[in-house]
Structures are given as structure tokens and as C-alpha cells.
A and B are shown apart, each in its own frame.
Chain A
Amino acid sequence: MSVTMQEMINFHLTGRRGVDDTANGPGPDICPALLMPYRQLSELRYDFPLVLIDSPANPAFADSLTGICNRMLRDIAPEGNAGEQLRQHVLQLEKRMRELVIDGHDESLSQLWKRAEKSLLAECEEAEAELKRNSLATARFALKTDGVVVNCDAQLSSRLLQHAFRRTEASRTSQSVEKIESLIIRLRNILKVDDLKHSNSESPQTLKKNLGKRYKDSFDFDMMSELLDDATPQNRLPSQRRNRIQAALATLESQQFFVPATAARNKRGSGQYEFIVDDLSVALKAYDERLPQMAEVIRAISIAELECDNAYREEKHSSYFDLFSAQALAPEDLEVFPSYLICLHESELRALDIARLMEVVSSDLPMKILLQVSDALTHQSAQSFTAPGNAFVVQSTSSNLYRQSKAIKKGLEFNGPAVFSIFAPIEALTTETPAYLVAAAAMESRVFPAFSYDPGAGAGLADRFDISSNPKVASDWPHREFSYEDDELQMIVEDCAFTAADFAIIDEKYSEHFAFAPKETWSDDMLQVSDYLALTDVETIEKVPYLTAVDGDNVLRRFVVDDGLIRIVRRCRERWHALQELGGVNNSYASAALANVPVAEPVTEPAPVTKEAVAAPVETTVEVVDKAEAEETPEIASDDPYIDTPRCTTCDECTNRNDRMFAYDENKQAYIKDPDAGTFRQLVEAAEECQVAIIHPGKPRNTDEPGLDELIKRAEPFMA
């Protein structure tokens, strides 16, 4: 073993480089090998930048610039060569817009488009510029989406969540807003009608004013006033009802929870409560303080609804409403009010804040909490917020937010608390690697895996946990092929795993955990981190783990990883295993149960179905049915007349013949009310006339009735 190898083992075990050894830490231009092809982001088409969509008509709250351009080109560019030029020009513009966003331009898509178009055309000669101008004008005409364009930076999670929250809340509370506006109009109308009954409304002066100056000489307003006064109903609203309506109206008009739709359209809405805050205690205090007002609003809505339907009963309802307070609010009442969005930074949380946070996720409060994480390796996993079981939880990196937009929307719509734990690197602390790549690396390396937990998604944890947006969910680490040229310019292809160590090398904070291994020291005792982690403790003796990276000159480098970082990597893997199990992958209970399953017995053929075997139960069934029928059918003496009432078609034939003998029951179907209230002849004739033949005359009750022999004969067909 060479001395240099010993130094590397020393570094690996102690985490300290020797005084005169050759090992150095990674520089700012170092990039994990598998990330190298993605370094120049502006050259790539990917999810970012995002457009935060303003239009409520679009159900999505964000769309990717790439997606917008793709759909637009599908619509406007003909297939094949005919559309190639248009496609090229739009893609050039998309690239320019991406560059401008990376340079820090923060504006709407339409403004960005104009800026990018101007910049692009300025670089072309006149003839080419003309062609591009035409193509881009066509494309701009087809652009249906607008909104602020945002990049994947440290502010993304806050901007995106706030935007999504406003959109979701506007949609969620729109029914309440409409309801309140509609009730206000209806209550005003009730009062207006009552006012019109007031004699002042029919005074000559008021009438003259209402008809306008032009007709002032055409009418006798004194006479008109007299006539109207006589014709107008005098029943005014009782003063108690009027006061009640006015009070409910005043509450609805002055409520500060909902922005009226008209005010929202006119960009008004001042005086409304703020529901986005950056302090949990402020949100909790506001919620508590506003609770009595919420009860007042619900009380006013309920009174207004009853009053508008003329269903308010003073004797029954007033005492109830007198006692109505916040205690009487039901969960469905609270659901109509806006939720709160609290934007927090994990690094700024104090112990008290964490306790409050756990209190909120254990409650049913409508609090949506954005937890912005900037140090992925030391963060507290959002998994802990799933423990109480009633909070919606989303964990994601900023790079994955667009992919998680459905889960985010669901979390914001969820009736109860929701936590969104989002990792977004602080750019100043990272190396030259773009923020998007750092965030993507955090998810890829299992340092900050993405998941969502939906308490309403099912009874089992595997139904509630969704880890599907992570790469290669069944593996410890995602493996990819990495190809490079060796000294002889031959292509080498290696299978590389992307581990937590790959993520750590990007962050300068963890550079001390790496030591550069010059090429001359490379040997078989150096193992890739993933291979090293697969060994037992004994097998790792005399071995060192390394990481493959590429420097700013695209030269392949190896870095030895110290044991401290290896422990962190192991912890990430264990956390990932726990998450896998919750998400239904590699379930340890299922594996144990499967191992204990005895070898299956050969399946025995079912006994052949014989006629005898079938006949027996059928006989029993028939018997049972017959018995049931016998129980259902009431016994009727054949001598008494009766009607098969359920089959009566309400045709009035029999009731018109003798309404004392025949009558309708509560279902408006005929029955024999009194067989002695008429003659046997009437019974027989009614039976003959009944179109559905359901009247059974029975036997004559009066044996002295004339013509009985003939009537009995006529009654025979109806005796069955």
C-alpha cells in the first residue's frame, strides 16, 4: 500500500488532511459527474422558468414556459418543413426569455416576450429580422397565457405558494362571496319595498322628481299621489323584523373576511383582513380574535336566508339566535371562511415556534404553513408533521414544485392544516452550480425526497403517502450511466449512483468532508460511495469511498469522502427507507409475512355440480318464497268484496259510481270503504267497468236484492 493511500485512509477516518499531504478540498467549480451535462441551464429546455397564471379561467395556477411554447407551436406550426422556421424562431425566443430571467428580469410573460423579441431582432440583419418578426407576431397572437415569470430561486417557494394560495382561496370562497352579495341584494330589496309603502314615496314632490322635469306639467301630481296612496298596501314590515333585517344587512355589508366580487374586479378590497402572514403566533392570535366575528357573519347569513325565504319564525328562531356564539359554529360553517398562509423559514424557528407548529398540525385549524428550508442535509423531515395524522403535508424541493402543483393545490384546498416544506438553496452559500440544479440534486440524492401525505386519501398509510415523484423509488439511490473519454480518447461508460455525497460536494459548507485524490493514487481500494455503503464494517477496512466529479475544465476528478459525511449519507438512506415503507415500497411487514407463507397446497378440483345438488336448494328457495308470499298476502274471505288497491290507476270510475262505497286512500288509490253503502249491482258494474279489473265483488250481502242470479253470474270472472 502506498503512503498516499494511507493518507487518504487517514483523511477518511479522521476527516483531517495532513499538514504536507497533497489532498485538497473541492473548488467552487466542482460538479458531481452526473450533473455535469446540465450545467449550462439556459441551453436546456426544462420546467423553469414558471409563469404564475392570473386568469381564474385557467384551472392551473402555474405553467412552465417550455410547456406554453410547446402547446403554442402544436397549435400554430404546421408539421414538417412548413412549420420548421416558425418553430426555430419561437424556440430562439424561448431561450432568450430564459436567459433574461436568469439575468434577473422579473416581469410578466407579455413584457418579457417583448423584451426578448426586441433583443433577438436587434442581433439580426434586416431580411432575417423581418422573417423573425412575422413568425413571432403569429406566435404572440396565439399566446393565451400571461402572468409573472419566476425562476427557480430562493424566493420561488414563497412567491408560488402565495400566488397559489390567493388563487385557491378566491375560488374556494367565491361561493361565500356570491352568497353574501346575493343576500345583501335581497335584504335591501325587502327594505326597499317596505320603504316604497311609506307615504313619502308617493308624495307629490317625490312623484314629480321621479318622473322628471319634462313631464312636470303633464300630470296632476297631487291627484296621482292621492290615487297611489289609496292603492298601496298598508301592511308595513313589523318594526322587529325590520330591525332584524337591518342588523343582518349591516353585518354582511361590514364583514371583513370576504372581498366582494365587484370590489375584487375593481382592484379594491381595502379594509379586508390579511390572511398571509410570516408569524405563526400572529396568525393564531388573529384567528382567535376573529372567531366571534365569524359567528356574527354566520348568524347574519342564517337570519338573512330565513328572512329571504320568509321562513323566519320569531317564536322559534329568535331565542336560538340570541344564544348563537362562536361555540355554535360547526366545522362546515368554519370551512367557508378563508384560510391563513404562514410563511416561515426553518432556520429562524425557535423552540416555541416549533411547539406551536406541532400544535397547529394536531388541530383542525385552517392554517397553511410554508416552511422554507435552506439547509437540506440538516433539516427536520416534514415526515414528523404527518404523525398526528390530520394535516396535509407536502415535502418538495423548489426544482420539483411545478411537478408537485397538483399536491400543492390539494393541500391548499384541504379543510384543515397543511404544511409545505420546501427546500430552496440560498444562492450565496452555494458554488457556481445554479440553484435549480442544487435543488434537483437534493431530491435526486434522497437528501430531500419529495412526498405528499393526504389524510383523506385512504385508510392505509400507503394510500396517503405518495412518493412517486422521486426518481427510481424502489432503489436506494438512482443509478445513471456516466460516459467520459480516457487518456487514450476512448469512451468509458460507468454506472454511477447519485448519493447524498454528490449533493454535499456542491455545497461549500461540506467541502471539508472531501479530499482530492490525484490520478496516480487511484486504486482498487477506492470504491464509489454507493459500493462502499454496501459493504460490511469488516469489508471496509483498508478501503476508502470516493466520489467522481468534474472540474471547470471538464476534467474528471475523484474526491475521497470522510467518515463523518458517510454517516450523514447513511442517515439519508435510512430516512429514505422509512419513507419508502410508508409509501408502500419494500414494506418490512409485508416482506416478513411473505417469508412466512407456507408453500401453497395443490388446488383441489371443486366437486362436480350434480342435478341433485342444485335441486335441493331450489326447492328450499321456492318453499321460502311461497311461505313469504303467504305471509305477505292478507287473508280475505272470498265472500267479502275487495279491491286490489296497489294496482288502482285512480281513474275515478268507481268513486264516481258510488263515493260512499268506493273511496281513495292516502295514496289516492281506491278501496272499498263501506260494502253496505251500495248495492251488489253497483259492485258488479264497477268491476266490469274497471279498466284494470281489480274490483272483486264477492258475494251479495243483501239476499233480497232483485236480479241476483244474473249478477252472481256476471261477478264470476272477477272472483279469482
Chain B
Amino acid sequence: MTARATEILRRAGAEQHSLEDYAGCVPRWCTGCGDNAILAAVQKVCREEQLPLEKIVFVSGIGCSSRFPHYMGTYGFHGLHGRALPVAEGIKMRRPDLHVFVNTGDGDCCSIGAAHWVHATRYNMNMTVMMHDNNIYGLTKNQASPTSPMGTRSNTTPRGSVLEPFDPLQATLGFSNLSFVAQVPDWIPELLFQVIHEAHKHRGFSFIRILQRCPEFQANRWEPCMQDPASVRILTHENGVKLSPTLARAYKNNQEHDPSDLVEARRIVGTSEEIPVGIIYRNPDVPCYEDMRKPDRLYTPDHVKSGLEEELDKFTIWPRD
């Protein structure tokens, strides 16, 4: 409930934010790094929604991707390796009015932070999670990550990695209480913007796997896909991604996919030879944890004080009468 006058006066006095307003420090990512494209898309989403700067928080763990909060002119929390999600959950729980974004990498999310990822999906708190998947630990200079293709030569796997790569999409589509899953490459800017925008608008835990280029340590990883638009299958739907005429001319490999169909989503992710991109699954009806656990009363100073007194009294030794 907000008084109508407040809304009118706020709108009348509101400043229009430009892309520069959302920019923070100058990015120190490598030239040609896909993170630059993600940063530009996110800033465009913020501008599109005219999100108030003081109502945005970017939370990250450790890795190249996790430098993200520094480059946004908003609040941010550059946390511990793999622990971006618990911090973001804490922020959302206490300040549900904030727009919470999480930037995490394939190592940060799928390895050390995997347990948090499983439960954050289950908690379904309203936040936008971008997993920058460049298939490598880049910040620490070339170690194989869970999503590195088999045979990846790196400092930790000099003879080539021996395990099949971990598929974050197949994994997340198996988690309970799933609400939003998407996949998008960083090299199709229009699509990247559209998917992040839709994820932000979705009320719930929106997980986006972003296929990210790393020109230093995985230089040729996505090269074939970038050269051959047919290797990318764009999933379109009125409740999902919509192609502009320009994009439709370049990317002809399209498939109509209803994002509410979980079985079909699992089939596409599990069997498609081409890279499926777009909104893979969306269920707006899953309740958010912060709504379920919203306190039924306002924490007034009196209420907090009486609660503390009550707890402390349990340990008080009362003098005998």
C-alpha cells in the first residue's frame, strides 16, 4: 500500500537513468571476454526497467565473472568462493524490496557452490542468477572446471581432462521447486538482453546459464557455434523468447517450445545436438520462500525488546522470595 500522491510525486521527480548511471569501475576483463557483453546487457536491462540505483544489489562469489559488482554503479557484495547464493538469499530475506542479481561462474556455482545452488533453486527466492559458463577457471589462470569439455588441457589436467563435462541445465531441471531456467550465448546481444530481461521480470529464482567466451584459455571453444548460426537452436514461444525479423534472418534454426512444459524441457536439454537457447522452463506459480517466511507482524522495537527479554529471562537466576 502506497499513497497515490507519493507515486505521482515520485514519478514527477524521478530522474531518467542512462546506461552510464549503471556503470561502475572500468572493467578489467580481457579484451574479447564475453563478460563484457553480459555487463552491457545487464546495464541495458536496468536502464529499460529504470531500476533505482539504490535498490539494486549484485552479489558474486570468486572468479572472473564475480568481478561483476565492481563494474556496476549499484550496491554489490563480492563474496567468498561459491557462497554468492547464501549471501544473496540473506539480502533478499531481509530486504525483499531490493532487486537482487547474482553473478557466478561455472567453477563457483557447479563446484564449490553446488550445494548452495541446489537449495537456492529449491528456496525459489526472487532473484536473477547469471552463471557465466566459460568452461574454465580463468581468474586463477587455466584450470579445468566442472563444465570443461573432455580432453581440456589445463594446468590441473595437462594431459587433458578425463571426465565428461557436467551439464548445469540437466542438473537444474532435476532440482525441486524449479521456477525459471534459461540458456543463452553471450555473442547474440539481442537474445542475451531479452533472456536477462525476462529472467528479471520473472518472480522467483531465475537461473540463466550464459555460454561465455574466454579468449585466453578457451579461445576456440565457441568458435564453431559463432561461425555457424545453425548450431544454435533458438527456442521461441509467446511466453518465451521472441525473434526480431533481423535475428530471424540470421538464425533460422528455431523451435517452438512452451516453457511451461517441464518434460519437453528435459527432453530438449538431454537430447538436442544443437545448443538450445532461450527460456527452457518457466513456472510463475512456485511460491517464493521470502513470501512464505514473511513475518506475520512488524518487528517493532518493543516487539524485539520483549522477545530478547523473554529469551534472556530463561537464563536468569531469580532470587528466592
**A residues touching B (Cβ–Cβ < 8 Å)?**
175-176, 178-179, 181-182, 185, 261-262, 265, 298-299, 301-302, 305-306, 309, 311, 313, 316-317, 320-321, 324, 328, 330, 332-333, 336, 628-629, 632, 646-653, 656, 666-669, 689, 691-693
Cα distance, A299 to B8, chains bound together (Å) = 13
| A632, B13: Cβ atoms closer than 8 Å | no
Cα distance, A680 to B4, chains bound together (Å) = 59
Contacts A632-B245, A648-B189, A692-B187; A653 near B3 (Cβ below 8 A): no
Cα distance, A649 to B13, chains bound together (Å) = 34
0 or 1 for each of B13-39: is its CB under 8 Å from A? (1 = yes): 100001100000001000111101101
| A669, B40: Cβ atoms closer than 8 Å | yes
Cα distance, A79 to B301, chains bound together (Å) = 51
Cα distance, A629 to B244, chains bound together (Å) = 12
| A313, B36: Cβ atoms closer than 8 Å | no
Contacts A669-B189, A691-B215; A306 near B6 (Cβ below 8 A): yes
| B300, A185: Cβ atoms closer than 8 Å | yes
| B12, A302: Cβ atoms closer than 8 Å | no
A651 contact from B6, B36, B249, Cβ within 8 A: B36
Does B5 sit within 8 A of A, measured CB to CB?
A: yes
| B215, A646: Cβ atoms closer than 8 Å | no
The secondary structure that dominates the A interface is helix
Cα distance, A175 to B203, chains bound together (Å) = 21
Cα distance, A325 to B300, chains bound together (Å) = 31
0 or 1 for each of B205-235: is its CB under 8 Å from A? (1 = yes): 0000000010100000001001100000000
Name the A residues within 8 Å of B190 (CB-CB).
Answer: 646-647
> For residue B297, which residue of chain A has the nearest CB?
A261
| A650, B19: Cβ atoms closer than 8 Å | no
Q: Which of B5, B32, B34, B301 has most A Cβ within 10 Å? A: B5
- A328 CB to closest chain B CB (Å) equals 7
| B4, A330: Cβ atoms closer than 8 Å | yes
Name the B residues within 8 Å of A667 (CB-CB).
Answer: 19, 40, 44
Cα distance, A639 to B240, chains bound together (Å) = 40
Contacts A185-B300, A316-B12, A649-B34; A301 near B40 (Cβ below 8 A): no
| B6, A649: Cβ atoms closer than 8 Å | no
Contacts A301-B3, A667-B19; A262 near B40 (Cβ below 8 A): no
| A650, B189: Cβ atoms closer than 8 Å | yes
A629 contact from B6, B10, B227, B245, Cβ within 8 A: B245
| A181, B37: Cβ atoms closer than 8 Å | no
- A623 CB to closest chain B CB (Å) equals 15
| A185, B301: Cβ atoms closer than 8 Å | yes
Name the A residues within 8 Å of B89 (CB-CB).
Answer: none
Does B2 sit within 8 A of A, measured CB to CB?
A: yes
| B33, A651: Cβ atoms closer than 8 Å | yes
A-B pairs with lowest CB-CB distance, top 7: A649-B37, A650-B40, A302-B3, A302-B5, A668-B40, A305-B6, A302-B6
Cα distance, A668 to B37, chains bound together (Å) = 9
- B90 CB to closest chain A CB (Å) equals 21
Cα distance, A407 to B13, chains bound together (Å) = 43
> For residue A313, which residue of chain B has the nearest CB?
B13
| A262, B300: Cβ atoms closer than 8 Å | yes
8 A Cβ contacts from B146-198 to A: 186-190
Does B271 sit within 8 A of A, measured CB to CB?
A: no
Does B95 sit within 8 A of A, measured CB to CB?
A: no
The secondary structure that dominates the B interface is helix
Cα distance, A301 to B10, chains bound together (Å) = 14
Does B263 sit within 8 A of A, measured CB to CB?
A: no
> For residue A651, which residue of chain B has the nearest CB?
B32
| A262, B303: Cβ atoms closer than 8 Å | yes
A646 contact from B3, B5, B31, B246, Cβ within 8 A: B246
Does B317 sit within 8 A of A, measured CB to CB?
A: no
> For residue A300, which residue of chain B has the nearest CB?
B3
Tally of chain B residues near chain A (CB < 8 A): 43
> For residue B41, which residue of chain A has the nearest CB?
A650
0 or 1 for each of B269-289: is its CB under 8 Å from A? (1 = yes): 000000000000000000000
- A335 CB to closest chain B CB (Å) equals 9
Cα distance, A235 to B18, chains bound together (Å) = 31
- B279 CB to closest chain A CB (Å) equals 20
- B253 CB to closest chain A CB (Å) equals 17
Cα distance, A652 to B215, chains bound together (Å) = 12
Cα distance, A70 to B9, chains bound together (Å) = 55
Cα distance, A632 to B249, chains bound together (Å) = 12
Does B310 sit within 8 A of A, measured CB to CB?
A: no
| B32, A302: Cβ atoms closer than 8 Å | no
Name the B residues within 8 Å of A182 (CB-CB).
Answer: 298
| B32, A179: Cβ atoms closer than 8 Å | no
> For residue A667, which residue of chain B has the nearest CB?
B44
| A656, B44: Cβ atoms closer than 8 Å | no
Cα distance, A648 to B297, chains bound together (Å) = 50
Does B60 sit within 8 A of A, measured CB to CB?
A: no
Does B308 sit within 8 A of A, measured CB to CB?
A: no
Name the A residues within 8 Å of B5 (CB-CB).
Answer: 298-299, 302, 320-321, 324, 328, 333
| B300, A649: Cβ atoms closer than 8 Å | no
A668 contact from B2, B19, B32, Cβ within 8 A: B19
| A647, B6: Cβ atoms closer than 8 Å | no
Does B128 sit within 8 A of A, measured CB to CB?
A: no
- B200 CB to closest chain A CB (Å) equals 17
| A649, B249: Cβ atoms closer than 8 Å | no
Name the A residues within 8 Å of B2 (CB-CB).
Answer: 179, 305
Cα distance, A668 to B33, chains bound together (Å) = 15
Cα distance, A668 to B213, chains bound together (Å) = 18
> For residue A185, which residue of chain B has the nearest CB?
B300
- A629 CB to closest chain B CB (Å) equals 7
Contacts A336-B1, A668-B19, A692-B226; A653 near B298 (Cβ below 8 A): no
> For residue A324, which residue of chain B has the nearest CB?
B5
Beyond the given pairs A648-B189, A651-B34, 12 more chain A to chain B contacts, judged by CB atoms under 8 angstroms and listed by A's residue number, are: A262-B302, A302-B3, A309-B10, A330-B4, A629-B245, A646-B190, A649-B40, A650-B40, A652-B31, A666-B18, A667-B19, A667-B40
| B37, A302: Cβ atoms closer than 8 Å | no
Does B143 sit within 8 A of A, measured CB to CB?
A: no
| B6, A301: Cβ atoms closer than 8 Å | yes
- B226 CB to closest chain A CB (Å) equals 6
Cα distance, A653 to B18, chains bound together (Å) = 24
Cα distance, A277 to B79, chains bound together (Å) = 59
| A650, B9: Cβ atoms closer than 8 Å | no
Name the A residues within 8 Å of B301 (CB-CB).
Answer: 185
Does B43 sit within 8 A of A, measured CB to CB?
A: yes
Cα distance, A179 to B36, chains bound together (Å) = 41
> For residue B301, which residue of chain A has the nearest CB?
A185
- B246 CB to closest chain A CB (Å) equals 6
- A301 CB to closest chain B CB (Å) equals 5
Name the A residues within 8 Å of B33 (CB-CB).
Answer: 651
| A652, B32: Cβ atoms closer than 8 Å | yes
Name the B residues within 8 Å of A298 (CB-CB).
Answer: 3, 5
Q: Which of A178, A313, A316, A692 has most B Cβ within 10 Å? A: A692
Name the B residues within 8 Å of A689 (CB-CB).
Answer: 32
| B298, A316: Cβ atoms closer than 8 Å | no
Name the A residues within 8 Å of B250 (CB-CB).
Answer: 647
Cα distance, A179 to B2, chains bound together (Å) = 8
Cα distance, A265 to B213, chains bound together (Å) = 58
A176 contact from B1, B31, B213, Cβ within 8 A: B1
Cα distance, A669 to B40, chains bound together (Å) = 8
> For residue A184, which residue of chain B has the nearest CB?
B300
- B238 CB to closest chain A CB (Å) equals 20
Name the B residues within 8 Å of A301 (CB-CB).
Answer: 3, 6
A-B contact pairs, 26 of them (CB 8 A): A176-B1, A181-B298, A185-B298, A265-B297, A298-B5, A301-B3, A305-B3, A309-B10, A311-B13, A328-B5, A333-B4, A646-B189, A646-B190, A646-B246, A650-B39, A651-B33, A652-B32, A653-B31, A653-B32, A666-B18, A667-B19, A689-B32, A691-B32, A691-B187, A691-B223, A691-B226
Cα distance, A184 to B5, chains bound together (Å) = 18
- A652 CB to closest chain B CB (Å) equals 5
Cα distance, A649 to B188, chains bound together (Å) = 7
Cα distance, A647 to B247, chains bound together (Å) = 9
Q: Which of B19, B33, B37, B245 has most A Cβ within 10 Å? A: B37
